[in-house]
Amino acid sequence: MRNVHVIADAPVDVHTAFAAITRFQDFGNYADVIERVTVDGEAPNRTSSWTVNFRQGKLCWTEQDIVAAELRTIEYSLLDGDFEVFEGSWTIAAVGQIARITFTCSFDFGIPSMQRMLEPIAGRTLTSCIEAIITGALSGARIVDYQS
């Protein structure tokens, strides 16, 4: 299982940051690897379907998104798709006058023989994708820490 963790600071209030991060359908505007995101349903309980370019193919999955506006969190977990495990969260917190955005993800393709080769590449791709989303959606945002 691979874990990805990205932390960014944005010079906006937490409500602005949370509103930007909940618009998954806009993420393709910021990250070239995202071909399409479709969001169905309304917060707090919605689903999103993703098509992402990866290597010379596509990864597709549908996830359950639990949006807690009062906590400024989104917890997501795999419903169906190309992963065996895909789950994590987005959290927006106030740190002084800035919004701190924390993204976490744990994923597993479920192919033990390919784990050592594919998962590190997917981890780096996911990290750079999340960085592009945050800095694209929130002007002036900067990445302060990441692990993949």
- Rounded to an integer, what distance in angstroms lies between the CA atom of residue 72 and that of residue 107? 23
- Average pLDDT on 40-53 reads 96
User: What confidence score (pLDDT) does residue 27 get?
Assistant: 98
The domain segmentation of the chain, as residue ranges, is 2-147
Residue 49 burial (C-beta neighbours within 10 Å; 0-12, 13-18, 19+): middle
Q: What residues contact 114, with CB distance under 8 A and at least 6 apart?
A: none
Higher pLDDT, 117 or 85: 85
| 80 confidence band (pLDDT: 50, 70, 90) | very high
Fold of 2-147: Alpha-D-Glucose-1,6-Bisphosphate; Chain A, domain 4 (3.30.530)
User: What confidence score (pLDDT) does residue 116 get?
Assistant: 84
Distance of CA 35 to the CA centre of its chain: 14
- Rounded to an integer, what distance in angstroms lies between the CA atom of residue 95 and that of residue 128? 24
- Could you tell me the pTM of the whole model? 0.96
- Rounded to an integer, what distance in angstroms lies between the CA atom of residue 125 and that of residue 68? 27
User: What confidence score (pLDDT) does residue 114 get?
Assistant: 77
- Taking only the tens place, the pLDDT of each residue in 105-119 is 999 999 888 788 899
- Taking only the tens place, the pLDDT of each residue in 9-34 is 999 999 999 999 999 999 999 999 99
